[in-house]
Structure 1
Amino acid sequence: MENEKLYPKSTRELNEKKAALAPDNVEAWRNFSSTVFKAGALDEKTKQLIAVAVAHVTQCPYCIRAHTPQAMRKGASKEEIMEAIWVAAEMRAGAAYAHATLAMDEMEKHR
């Protein structure tokens, strides 16, 4: 499959090899991630919906594949997940439009 050339399948073996190359960093990352996704002011489902949305903005296929089922395990419906993705799409498009202000500023300088 063409996508597997671009995005190899994430396997336990590859993850272990990556971890072995920087074990202290991986341990710190895992602790950080575990802390971030614990329920706090936001519940775990909401945090996973945010992760799904951000994964779409950052266009990380590994994150999309990891956080979509996590969101469902935490109780998110398919409709909630899709709505979160639409919020992400609006924010990405909105940011492009908002940054047009920079282009307008430059165009005004070169009248």
Structure 2
Amino acid sequence: MLDWDDYLQQLKTTIGEIGKLSPKTLHGYQELATAGSATGQLDPKIRELISLAVAVTLRCDGCITTHTSAAIKHGATREEIAEALGVAISVNAGAALVYSARVMDAYAQKTA
């Protein structure tokens, strides 16, 4: 099992190094990361639950550790996180089904 806190610290170090080499890139990312919350339409806990579902969909371990910590900080329960992950699982399964239909379409076209 991954030590998620250790991994988060490693990421912060490495990303800090990237920031020194390419400060505008890191600044642009930080601007993008905070821009969505500027409207205040979603509370921070809901934003973090969405972030976790997206992190699973994108298979991003860095996002998982970062947003799990933030979700806990904003009061997300294990049950709420599980429900958000259920949405990610459902959407990913649906996407696989849609893309399976594309494979069948490609097959039909190539064998016609």
TM-score under structure 1 normalisation? Answer: 0.82
Q: Identity of paired residues, percent? A: 31
Count of aligned positions: 107
Tell me, what secondary structure is at the counterpart of 1:76? coil
Distance change (3 Å), C-alpha of 1:23 and 1:61? same
What stretches of structure 1 move > 6 A for 4+ residues in a row?
A: none
Following superposition of structure 1 onto structure 2, how do residues 30-45 of structure 1 map, counting pairs within 5 Å? 30-38=30-38, 40-45=40-45
Listed as ranges, the gaps of 5+ residues in structure 1 are none
Higher RCO (Cα < 8 Å, 6 or more apart): 2
The CA deviation at 1:15 is 2.6
The CA deviation at 1:12 is: 4.0
Bigger helix share? 2
Residue in structure 2 matched with residue 26 of structure 1 by the alignment: 26
TM normalised by structure 2 equals 0.81
Could you say what the CA RMSD is over the residues aligned between the two structures, in angstroms?
A: 2.3
- Residue segments in structure 2 that go unaligned for 5+ positions in a row: none
User: What is aligned with 2:73?
Assistant: 73
- Partners of 2:107 and 2:69 lie apart in 1 by 46
Q: Which amino acid aligns with 1:61?
A: D
